[in-house]
Amino acid sequence: MNVIARLSPEEREFMTKVCEEIEKSRVDKVLPVLYAGSGGDVEHAVLLGNNLVFVDPHLPEETLLEIKRRIEMIDGKIVEEERKGELGKGGKHVVKFLLDGEEIKLTYYAEDATKIGREFKPEELERGYFVYFVKVPLPKEEKVGSLTSPESLGTLLKHIAVGGFYLERECPISRYLDPRMLGFEKVASGPISALSINYGEMGNLYRKIKEVEEIALLLKIDHELYKLRNKSKTVEFSEIMEAIYKYYNQLPDHLKQEVEKAVRRLSKE
- The pLDDT of residue 114 is 92
Computed over every residue of the chain, the mean pLDDT equals 90
- Higher-pLDDT residue of 97 and 237 is 97
Residues 6 or more apart whose CB falls under 8 angstroms from that of 58 comprise 39, 140, 141, 144
Which residues on neighbouring strands pair with residue 100, listed in sequence order? Answer: none
- The pLDDT of residue 112 is 93
- The three-state secondary structure class of 46 is coil
Distance CA 243, CA 232 (A): 14
CA 263 to chain centre: 26
- Flag whether pLDDT at 196 surpasses 70: no
- The pLDDT of residue 245 is 87
Distances (CA, A) of 137 to 25, 114, 149, 181, 269: 26, 10, 10, 23, 28
- The pLDDT of residue 266 is 75
- Higher-pLDDT residue of 160 and 137 is 160
Mean pLDDT (whole number) for 169-198: 88
Q: Give pLDDT tens digits for 146-180.
A: 898 899 999 999 999 999 999 999 999 999 899 99
Domain boundaries, the chain: 2-212, 218-268
Q: Give pLDDT tens digits for 53-112.
A: 999 999 999 999 999 999 999 999 999 999 999 999 999 999 999 999 999 999 999 999
Report yes or no: 164 and 129 within 8 Å, Cβ to Cβ.
yes
State the pLDDT confidence band at 26, using cuts at 50, 70 and 90: confident
Mean pLDDT (whole number) for 28-42: 93
- The pLDDT of residue 166 is 98
Distances (CA, A) of 70 to 12, 48, 78: 18, 16, 11
For domain 2-212, the CATH class is alpha beta
- Flag whether pLDDT at 236 surpasses 70: no
Range with top average pLDDT, 94-98, 196-200, 242-246: 94-98
- The pLDDT of residue 241 is 75
- Higher-pLDDT residue of 160 and 242 is 160
- The pLDDT of residue 142 is 60
Mean pLDDT (whole number) for 240-247: 81
- The pLDDT of residue 20 is 96
- The pLDDT of residue 140 is 63
Minimum mean pLDDT range among 53-57, 123-127, 222-226, 240-244 = 240-244
